[in-house]
Amino acid sequence: MESRRLQHDDHEQALEAFLLVANLLRERIDRELQRGSGIPLAYFQILDCLSRAPERTLRMSDLASHLHASRSRLSHSITRLEERGWVERASCPTDKRGTLATLTERGLSALETASPSLVQSALQHLFAQLAPAEVQQLRALSESLAAHLFSLEDEHPLD
């Protein structure tokens, strides 16, 4: 009973520390991007994802699942990115229900301007203090937890 209780406390403290650092990290990166280039992290991730796709184009649905975002959220975001001239929509030729999102030249420039200095400086700042083995630990733990969370989503989907 005692050890059961201790174990639970361990979990709770680990969870608290994890959620705290996750927030701090996201905020920090978001700020550095925002300040340096005027691009919020959420938009950056969309542009980055499109830039790696063939023809710099993806279907809304595929883009949403790559980014682990809801269709609704992505749709609103793409609307705003279209207003900035960074993304264009086109209807899918093979399936009239679908919509294709394409990264424009201007969008690519914006991404390339923002990308190198800021993300790298963030990374260097953040991981400068961790030993290579610790970086690996962090990655292994994250991937293990992510796999578990994905299996939970399959049981109880969020949409």
Residues that contact DNA, how many (by CB under 7 A):
31
Euclidean distance between CA atoms 70 and 78, whole angstroms: 12
Euclidean distance between CA atoms 49 and 66, whole angstroms: 8
90 binds, among DNA, a second copy, none (CB under 5 to 8 A by kind): none
Tell me the one-letter amino acid at 21.
Answer: V
CB 33 within 8 A of CB 119: yes
Q: Does 144 bind DNA (CB under 7 A)?
A: no
Q: Does 144 bind a second copy (CB under 8 A)?
A: yes
Q: Does 105 bind a second copy (CB under 8 A)?
A: no
Torsion of CA 81, 87, 91, 93, to 10 degrees: -160
Per DSSP, the three-state class of 103 is strand
Select the residue interacting with DNA from 28, 52, 76, 148 (CB under 7 A).
Answer: 76
Stretch that binds a second copy, among 49-57, 74-82, 97-105, 121-129 (CB under 8 A): 121-129
Select the residue interacting with DNA from 36, 51, 59, 115 (CB under 7 A).
Answer: 59
77 binds, among DNA, a second copy, none (CB under 5 to 8 A by kind): DNA
